[in-house]
Amino acid sequence: MQRILLVLMSAMLAVMLAACGADKSTETKGNADAVSNATSETSQEQTEQAKSTVYPLTVKDASGKEITFEKAPEKIVSTSPAETEMLFALGLNDRIVGVSDYDDYPEEAKSKTKVGGVVEPNAEAIVAAGSDLVVSGISISEEALEHLNSLGLKVFASNPKSVDDVLSEILLLGQITDKQPEAEALVGQMNADIQKVKDAAATVKDKKKMYIEFSPGWTVGSGEFMDELITLAGGINIASDVAGWYQINEERIVADNPDVIMYTLDGMDNDSGKTIDQLIYSRTGWDQIKAVKDKQVIGVDGNLLSRPGPRITQGLLAISNALYPGAVK
């Protein structure tokens, strides 16, 4: 009987010791996890602090002019829809005090004070806004830019010609405004989209020809970001033998016989009142173009194609899907 009691007591003691060990193990693991999480949070904070902008900061804009910032700008005016999208994407809503008359994205941009057109912004409105940074875009005239500079305004001129230019501008604006982590995260996501399209394009054996009509009767040639988007997507821009933006030759498009035609949904001919797709289907001989016969005339939000801003990679994805549906994984 005593032997049985000893055996039972020994078993109970073993169970108790095992339970204590398990409790200590769980407690130790919990403590380790807490330390690990705290270390991770501290490391993240240190990384963000390391990426904080050090002022004074001197940068060069697209015109080659050097601009020095003593601190992060607190009142920002944008005269360009693309740059406005960049600023909002960096989380600068509270610091934006003025935008161009054409700024409509994101939704918050519509409620901002308007400061005129993209070519000739209203200098008086910009001065009245009390801005310590004015960001201009690709459409501003040289005369308007010179006038803003002559008023002593701190003007950052941009003129992105390529996708890389857009990415670089986002990073530079992030540095100027002390939003570097946000800028790097945004550029990282855009680069991921670009890589997806490049991977899909690498599998293409027979490249398709594309024609883009971004405004009634107008297309884009070489040297512009819209032409680059077609190339990145693995397509051939039939208009690339001419540089820049130019008016089309209707017979020439028929002769080049594109596989895909892309047009902007918001485009309309002022004289006839026709939309771009209506113009395309009404042109003499265009019913013989492969894209028309195959019903590969595709409309897209014009802002995704024409604005060299943070949504430019959405335009790239749209072009890729139009050329090679389902290729992007």
DSSP string, 213-238: ESBTTEEE-BTSHHHHHHHHTT-EET
Task: Report the C-alpha gap between 89 and 72 in whole angstroms.
Answer: 17
Task: Report the C-alpha gap between 168 and 148 in whole angstroms.
Answer: 24
CB-neighbour burial class of residue 185 (10 A; exposed 0-12, middle 13-18, buried 19+): middle
Task: Report the C-alpha gap between 119 and 47 in whole angstroms.
Answer: 40
CA nearest neighbour of 154 among 54, 53, 91, 65: 65
CB contact at 8 A, 266 and 213? no
Nearest 10 degrees: Cα torsion 121, 125, 130, 131: -20
Along the 329 residues of the chain, how does pLDDT read in single tens digits?
344 333 334 444 343 434 444 444 444 445 545 444 544 454 455 555 568 999 999 999 999 999 999 999 999 999 999 999 999 999 999 999 999 999 999 999 999 999 999 999 999 999 999 999 999 999 999 999 999 999 999 999 999 999 999 999 999 999 999 999 999 999 999 999 999 999 999 999 999 999 999 999 999 999 999 999 999 999 999 999 999 999 999 999 999 999 999 999 999 999 999 999 999 999 999 999 999 999 999 999 999 999 999 999 999 999 999 999 999 98
Q: Is 173 left (phi over 0), alpha (psi -120 to 50) or beta?
A: alpha
CB contact at 8 A, 157 and 148? no
State residue 185's pLDDT score. Answer: 98
Q: Which residues pair with 131 in a beta bridge?
A: none
CA nearest neighbour of 131 among 96, 178, 86, 92: 96
pTM, full prediction? 0.84
CB contact at 8 A, 209 and 256? yes
State residue 45's pLDDT score. Answer: 53
Task: Report the C-alpha gap between 142 and 159 in whole angstroms.
Answer: 12
State residue 1's pLDDT score. Answer: 39
Half-sphere exposure of 78 (CA within 13 A, CB side): 26
Is residue 77 within a helix (H) or strand (E), and if so which, with residue range?
strand 76-78
State residue 51's pLDDT score. Answer: 84
Which amino acid would we find at residue 300?
V
DSSP string, 15-41: HHHHHHHHHHHHHHHHHHHHHHHHHHH
State residue 186's pLDDT score. Answer: 98
What's CA 132's distance to the chain center, in Å? 24
Q: Which residues pair with 42 in a beta bridge?
A: none
Task: Report the C-alpha gap between 289 and 16 in whole angstroms.
Answer: 84
CB contact at 8 A, 101 and 323? no
Q: Go through 78-110 and write b for each residue having 16 or more CB atoms within 10 A of its CB, e for each that does not.
A: bbbbbbbbbbbbbebeebbbbbbebbebeeebe
Directed axis angle between helix 225-232 and helix 163-176, to 10°? 120
What's CA 232's distance to the chain center, in Å? 15
